Amino acid sequence: MTELDPVIHAQARLRVTATLAALDDGDRMTFPRLQELLGMTAGNLSTHLRKLEDAGYVAITKTHQRRTPVTFVELTRTGRRAFEDYTAALRALLDPAADPSEVPS
């Protein structure tokens, strides 16, 4: 049986990862925009981002635009691959008869 990645499998982290995976490779999103899209509190989102960052799935960049601090979040290549593997494993669990080589990536 295929195992689901426990880092991504938590509902909040799955939502974060899926949202970031929808961006083009190398694109990033501001923390407030991600928070708004997901409807999460800043503290809750920070906690889940820390777990994803510790796994190497997201990169967080803190910078300034003029004098205002800005935090950007992006999915790393490792994170994108982990999300693709996760979705493939989920498809395999939902339809065990499906040929994994036919799963679109």
Instruction: Convert the pLDDT of each residue in 25-65 to its tens digit.
Output: 989 999 999 999 999 999 999 999 999 999 999 999 999 98
Give me the pLDDT at residue 97, please: 76
Give me the pLDDT at residue 76, please: 97
**pLDDT higher than 80, residue 98:** no
Mean pLDDT for the stretch of residues 71-94: 95
The whole-model pTM stands at 0.86
Mean pLDDT for the stretch of residues 75-89: 96
Mean pLDDT for the stretch of residues 83-102: 82
- The answer to whether 18 touches 83, Cβ cutoff 8 Å, is yes
**Domain boundaries 6-96, CATH class:** mainly alpha
**What is d(CA 89, CA 3) in angstroms, rounded to the nearest whole number?**
7
